[in-house]
Amino acid sequence: MNIPPYLVAAAVAFIVTYAIALEMQWIARRLGAVTPPGGRHIHTRPIPRMGGLAIFGGVIVALLVALPIDSPVALVREPRYLILAVPYRPLAAPLLGVILGAVAITLLGAIDDLRALPGRLKFPLIYAAAAIPVAFGLTTSFLTNPVHGTMIPLGVAGKIFTVVWLGSMAIALNSIDGVDGLAAGIAGITGATLLMAAAPRVDVTTMTLAAAVIGASIGFLRHNFHPARIFMGDSGSMLLGFLLGAASVNGLFKAATALSLAIPVLALAVPIADTGYAIVRRYRKSVSIFLPDREHFHHRLLDRGLTQRQTAFVLYLLSAVFGLGGLAVAGINRTASLWVLGTITLALLVLARRLGLFRLRSAASADLPDPADLR
């Protein structure tokens, strides 16, 4: 009987996250890390918000156990013994960098959950944490020309791009964490997309990173789906976004053609589009991009009469469609790929118009005085 490393990662992450989340509710209340109702928050009772530490515990244990495994774990039955053979290897420097970066970004998020940091301090620190795995060798070193097949070295530009990508993914997933279960669900769907993309190439490392995110997200979702008993907070949402970014860099950006880049971009399309629209919206209103408001995609859906569960399911579905679109684009011919991309773009524009995303509300009614929060 052979057990792939990614299944080990998913199982460990699920079990540890699920178990620790129960304890984090009590710890968060004792530390005063509780989100009160009111303002732009849509819940009606105080909810502890340091569930991200449970996600961190599940992910870190899973990665430390499974990443050094480079081939399936074998359960061998001998005449008098049952032997568990675990093929271990030293942890590569880039993967060590990912783990250290995860520790740094979780610590930053936990501090923010306890005592809100101003956005002008928080943003640079996020990108500083994102630079850690790059310093250890995780980088986008080249792209492959889809026409001629030649490699285009990126050099320093690749390192800068990787830092920006990792930090931006942490911010993007944090941005959509406004409805019970939304961030955890989208993280799990995105992780599944990246795992499926890596499977044909038997990229065990990328599959293990993605599986750890999937297991931790599902384990936490049991406590976080509406009505939530605990929020993941910034410590959880930023960690999940960072790890998804790292998985995509390790598996897709390192040897990517222009079309294969569509997989991580479309898989993360919902948080990317929401964050990008938030920046443009605030810029057009001449307010600070750090100033939160109540005009994210999930707020628009709630304002149209959907419940929290319905809102989460709509955005789950949208994220899954985009992820499948990315997989289709990377696996079919160029003409069909353009048709798929065009259809997805048109669907997004139609949905945006239906939600009224092209209409700005008055700043007085939409913006709320909570500049320390990125969401």
Q: Is there a domain that residue 372 lies in?
A: no
Residues of the chain with pLDDT under 50: 362-375
* Angstrom distance (rounded) from CA 315 to CA 188: 13
Structural domain harbouring 175: 2-366
Q: Is there a domain that residue 373 lies in?
A: no
Residue carrying the six token digits 């079990």: 15
Q: Which residues contact residue 11 at a Cβ distance below 8 angstroms, ignoring those fewer than 6 apart?
A: 215
How does pLDDT run across 147-189, given as a tens digit for each residue? 555 666 677 888 998 999 999 999 989 888 878 889 999 999 9
Q: Is there a domain that residue 375 lies in?
A: no
Q: Is there a domain that residue 374 lies in?
A: no
Report pLDDT for 298: 75
Report pLDDT for 340: 64
> What Å distances lie between residue 364 and 77, 89, 154, 333, 360, CA to CA?
70, 57, 45, 49, 11
Burial classification of residue 34, based on how many CB atoms lie within 10 Å of its CB (0-12 exposed, 13-18 middle, 19 or more buried): middle
Report pLDDT for 42: 64
Report pLDDT for 34: 80
Q: Is there a domain that residue 371 lies in?
A: no
The string of DSSP codes covering 122-186 is HHHHHHHHHHHHHHTT----EEE-TTT--EEE-THHHHHHHHHHHHHHHHHHHHTTTSTTHHHHH
The total of structural domains in the chain comes to: 1
